[in-house]
Structure 1
Amino acid sequence: MRPEALARTEQRLRAAARRDGVTDLVVGVAVFRDGKLLVVRRVPGGYLGGMYELPGGGVESGESLTEGVARELLEETGLVARRITDFLGWFDYATRTKAKVRKFSFLAEAAPGEITLDPDEHDDYAWIDAGALGTLPMAPDMREAVDLLITERVPGPAGMPPGLRGG
């Protein structure tokens, strides 16, 4: 996506979140390499411990969604985001301490590099395709999102899933 398109998308997303009374924002980052999607496993004992998910996390105060995507991808995997190629959708959820959190997911292109996990957050990672999806523990909503990413993905240089939108 071009920077101006990302900026317009962010304005619309933030306005909708404000309208809905959502103040806690989170980003998820889908990265493909050689036709496989990157997922990371949460450390045992924490929230959703032992479950695989897309890299991501909370958007910090004063940070754009784009900046949050780049920071979270780097912090959680050591990969550098080259660019965001698509907005995939959003959903709301609750945590033990927050009544309503909105998660925005993006498809990003990452520079080549080795995965380096933050051991306080994740203890394993996998590059998966449709065949491997059923073998990994995931929360039901994450499994559904990952399944759509893998099965709806279209070939091509950008490798963007078609028409995935949430809400």
Structure 2
Amino acid sequence: MTRDGVIAEVLAAARELVPMPGYVNGYDYSDWHMRASPSLMRGLAELARQQGDEELTEQLYRYSGPVCMEPLDPVLSVRKSPRLWCAASVERDGDPCADHTPKYAADLGRCVYNSGTRICREALVPGADVCRDHEGLCPAVKADGEVCGRPNCRIPKHREAGLARV
């Protein structure tokens, strides 16, 4: 095989590098990984740059560091692996980008219950803004920063604010 043929084959394989779920709890974002080290990804990016493939260069550099792993598939379930990801660069592994925090869940048509730093992936209850798992749970954020989370919350302050789902 010629040098150009080998380079083309390596770059074709590099195009297939996408985040993969871990062996256990593959739906947990912290378990997703690339099947290549960051240094290999940067090396492949440089090879793609030398070959004039700017799109692949940018993709490989982005995947060589921490990225937002928010699934972008229209139908999401923790029991199925996503096909599309945001993949925007982020500061730390496991963090979402600014556009994919629970604060923006309603804009994205996702469950608005804020149970952490990630948007809930379950399907919405028809006619509601939450999924079945979060239906009836109080979304009020307490003074300590924790979400109330009580089923059918009866705390007056939460009810007055119109936050408790009853």
Q: What TM-score, normalized by structure 1, do the two folds share? A: 0.23
Higher RCO, Cα 8 Å, sep 6+:
1
Q: Rg bigger for which structure?
A: 2
Q: What TM-score, normalized by structure 2, do the two folds share? A: 0.23
User: Which has the larger strand fraction?
Assistant: 1
